[in-house]
Chains A and B, each alone.
Chain A
Amino acid sequence: AQRVTQPEKLLSVFKGAPVELKCNYSYSGSPELFWYVQYSRQRLQLLLRHISRESIKGFTADLNKGETSFHLKKPFAQEEDSAMYYCALRNQGGKLIFGQGTELSVKP
């Protein structure tokens, strides 16, 4: 079965604290994984993709095939990071399979 699981519906941290948004997947084959972010009243936009191994806005995510995880991390959260975060897997057919989303709230 192809599935993406984000176990936390809401994650609340204080500004400057480290943050980790969890994502686990189930996929037979080589997955292509993404993190999308949706800021308040804005459209969904791509934050990271695992193949590019880049850091965007201080966020990084490493694909761990052994643990079938693709957790999103940032060492020091900022208030402007508050948003909905979706982990997604793209299958061979091209469609995206999304997790349920995690709402990140960064408090001052």
Chain B
Amino acid sequence: NAGVMQNPRHLVRRRGQEARLRCSPMKGHSHVYWYRQLPEEGLKFMVYLQKENIIDESGMPKERFSAEFPKEGPSILRIQQVVRGDSAAYFCASSPEEHEQYFGPGTRLTVT
């Protein structure tokens, strides 16, 4: 069973562009979580999704950020019109029901 996959591992975007981060959960896992780690800080929860449903988006910035977990395919975290402050490592985790979360390797977003 392959672990949680995230791609790309590194993403560079200019200010104003869109960033799309993908997360493929482990096989059999229907719960996906996204976390963001800003420089020198711990991981902060962003959003919790199940297939086709957003369960908790209390950690998502109100504007420019959106997430989805469609019936088929990976979960996508989308950031529109990126700004320098969006530069961070974005981690995805998956779990089968509400159990231990398994983390992906992260996507490091750099906004220039």
Residues on A close to B: CB < 8 A?
4, 6, 36, 42-46, 49, 86, 93-101
Contact = CB atoms under 8 A, between A and B. Distances in A.
A42 B9 CA distance: 12
Interface centre among B41, B43, B102, by most A CB within 10 Å? Answer: B43
A32 to B, nearest CB: 10
Interface residues of B, number: 25
Residue with the highest number of chain B CB atoms closer than 10 Å, among A86, A95, A99: A95
A101 B42 contact: yes
Contacts of B101: 46, 96
Contacts of A49: 100
A97 B103 contact: no
Contacts of B98: 94
Contacts of B55: 93-94
Contacts of B95: 94
16 contacts: A4-B42, A6-B42, A43-B4, A43-B103, A43-B104, A45-B103, A86-B42, A93-B55, A94-B56, A95-B56, A96-B93, A98-B35, A98-B43, A98-B44, A100-B42, A101-B42
